[in-house]
Amino acid sequence: MHESISRLNHEPYIEPLTVEKVLVAGNRGPCGGVKMALEAAEQVLEIVNGREPVFTNWDIVNNNPAMQDLEKRGLKNVKNNLNLIPEGSVVFWSAHGIPPDYRKIADEKNLLSIDVTCQLVNRVHTLVKKAQENGKHIIYIGKEGHPETTGVLGELWTDNYTFIQPDTEISTLELPEKTQAVVYSQTTLATDEIKSQYEKLKTRYPDLEIPKRWDICPAVDYRQEAAEDLLNSHKIDFLLVGGSLHSHNSKELAKKAKKKNIPNALIDDPRQIQREWFTKGVKTVGATSGASEREEDFQLILDWFRGNGIDPVIYLPQIRSENDKAFILPQKDIDKLKERYR
């Protein structure tokens, strides 16, 4: 009936939304390291004020809207091609960390470096270097090609580490004999996958050293736990994740819904929403966002529901309390930049 009336009025029929409520995860959004990196970028671009280009070796954080905003203000992303950075320039080292040879190049080219490497990533760099100095063989679990993985492996001799991915078959793994091995990992991997790999590694190599404190970022872990809560405790029909497609930790959140055969989508802009996602009996939507997604971008996604008459949007309490105070700005680097214009 509605469709025939629409045809008489020469208007396309718009199928109504079936969503009754949106449940928002308590632990979501930017972690302390991301907030620190973006705040540093804001300060640096304000200080420079268009007087010269500011470069970054990679996305400061893996978030497209944030990077687009920064690039409009003069930030230039060279995608790890340091040849594109002129001598004497200002350059950011992204939150994912960098291999040590980048610092040598920076010295040779007299670059003014603003280092916003996440302190948890820096911790892994320090640990693998120390383990290598102590004669240990390092197993590193990460995603091939991810900038964090590239940075950490750059610290190691090529014959002194074994790189595996979360889905690597451990039963065929061969480690050097008579050498103590220790395992570390990328900070943004899925908690359950890492646990599984650790258990398989320990079964195959009982003498393998597994540090008591593992390397998954607590904020990433909490966001995964909160997503699991949405999926297991609240009977959602669709999981909507705020985050960019190249954000590994955001993809891991969407993957949790895929494993349970719950419809899902990963977006960083409300214009990417497809109305038909929410017209086929989807009544409860779960919404969360990755650790590199700005809260203002996530709110724009929620505004799409509000603008379509979906009420209420219910904010769930945090599952874990979070402390961002430990992530401090690279003040010495910023102070050097201020001196540049005096």
> In this structure, what CATH number is given to the domain that contains residue 50?
3.40.50.11270
**227 falls within a domain:** yes
Total tally of structural domains belonging to the chain: 3
**210 falls within a domain:** no
* 288 and 336 inside one domain: no
**320 falls within a domain:** no
Last residue of a domain, one of 173, 204, 235: 204
pLDDT at residue number 342: 87
* 175 and 251 inside one domain: no
- With vertex at residue 319, the alpha carbon angle to CA 316 and CA 320, rounded to the nearest 5 degrees, is 135
**How far is 122 from 33, CA to CA, in rounded Å?**
11
**How far is 172 from 62, CA to CA, in rounded Å?**
33
- With vertex at residue 224, the alpha carbon angle to CA 66 and CA 289, rounded to the nearest 5 degrees, is 25
**How far is 187 from 121, CA to CA, in rounded Å?**
7
* 142 and 88 inside one domain: no
* 110 and 60 inside one domain: yes
Whether the link from the prior residue into 312 is cis, omega within 30° of 0, is yes
Give the CB-side neighbour count of residue 10, counting CA atoms within 13 A.
Answer: 0
* 38 and 93 inside one domain: yes
Which CA distances in Å does 223 have to 34, 63, 147, 232?
A: 14, 16, 21, 14
* 310 and 222 inside one domain: yes
* 156 and 175 inside one domain: yes
**179 falls within a domain:** yes
Last residue of a domain, one of 204, 237, 264: 204
Domain of 24, CATH number, reads 3.40.1010.20
pLDDT at residue number 1: 47
pTM score: 0.93
pLDDT at residue number 323: 81
**64 falls within a domain:** yes
- DSSP at 246: T
* 227 and 306 inside one domain: yes
Which residue has 């390092």 as its token pair? 138
* 52 and 106 inside one domain: yes
Start-to-end C-alpha separation, the chain? 73
* 150 and 183 inside one domain: yes
**2 falls within a domain:** no
Which CA distances in Å does 144 have to 148, 168, 220?
A: 10, 11, 19
Which domain range does residue 187 map to?
120-204
* 198 and 240 inside one domain: no
pLDDT at residue number 335: 98
* 67 and 114 inside one domain: yes
Taken in order 98, 100, 103, 109, the sign of the CA dihedral is: negative
**39 falls within a domain:** yes
- Within the chain, which residues score under 50 in pLDDT? 1, 4, 6
**How far is 88 from 110, CA to CA, in rounded Å?**
5
**211 falls within a domain:** no
Catalytically annotated residues: 148
Last residue of a domain, one of 179, 204, 229: 204
